[in-house]
Chains A and B, each alone.
Chain A
Amino acid sequence: MIETIYIEKKIKNHPRTKFILKKFKKARVLEIDKYAEIFNKRNQNFRIQKANPDLILAHKNDGFVLPAPEGFGIGSSENFYFSHMYNCIYDCRYCFLQGMFSSANYVIFVNFEDFDTSIKNVINKNINSKITFFSGYDCDSLALENVTGFAKHILPLFQQYPEVDIEFRTKSIQREPFMSIEPMKNVIMAYSLMPDLMSSSLDNKVPSISKRIQVISDLALRGWKIGLRFDPLIHGEDWKSLYENLLEKVYNSIPLESIHSVSVGPLRFPKKMFKDILKLYPDEPLFTSPLASSKGVVSYDEKIEEEMSSFCKNLTLKYLDNSQIFRCYA
Chain B
Amino acid sequence: MIKNNFLKKTSVRWVVALKEEAEVILDNYKMVLVNEKTLYPIYKNVEETHWLTLSGIGRHNSAASTSYLYTISKASKWTSWINVGIAGSGKGDYGNIYLVDKIFNQNANTTYPATMPKSNLSKMTLLTTDIPITDYSSKELIDMEGSAFFDIASKLTTKEFICIMKIVSDGPSNDIKQLNKLKIIQLVKSNLSKISEVISYYEKLSENENQIRAKPYIFYKISSNWHFSVTQRTQLENLLRRLRVFCGNDDIMELIKQCENSSFVINALNNKIKGNKVNWSDV
Contact = CB atoms under 8 A, between A and B. Distances in A.
Given A236-B278, A289-B278, A290-B275, A52 B117 contact: yes
B160 A44 contact: yes
B94 to A, nearest CB: 22
Contact of A288 (B102, B112, B278): B278
A237 B212 contact: no
B74 interface: no
B158 A45 contact: yes
A286 to B, nearest CB: 7
Given A28-B101, A37-B112, A43-B154, A197 B238 contact: no
B233 interface: no
Contacts of B71: none
Contact of B281 (A4, A6, A197, A284): A197
B245 A201 contact: no
Contact of B101 (A4, A44, A51, A285): A4
B229 to A, nearest CB: 17
A288 B280 contact: no
A198 B280 CA distance: 6
A32 to B, nearest CB: 7
A301 to B, nearest CB: 8
Given A52-B117, A237-B279, A287 B242 contact: yes
B278 A235 contact: yes
Contacts of B221: none
B243 interface: yes
A232 to B, nearest CB: 13
A282 B243 contact: no
Given A44-B160, A237-B281, A288 B212 contact: no
Given A30-B101, A52-B118, A288-B246, A197 B280 contact: yes
A275 B273 CA distance: 16
Given A43-B159, A201-B283, A283-B212, A236 B277 contact: yes
Contact of A242 (B270, B275, B280): B280
A48 interface: yes
Given A30-B101, A38-B112, A285 B278 contact: yes
A290 B276 contact: yes
Given A30-B125, A44-B158, A235-B277, 15 more contacts: A4-B115, A28-B101, A37-B112, A43-B154, A43-B159, A45-B158, A197-B281, A234-B280, A242-B280, A279-B213, A284-B245, A285-B245, A288-B273, A288-B278, A289-B276
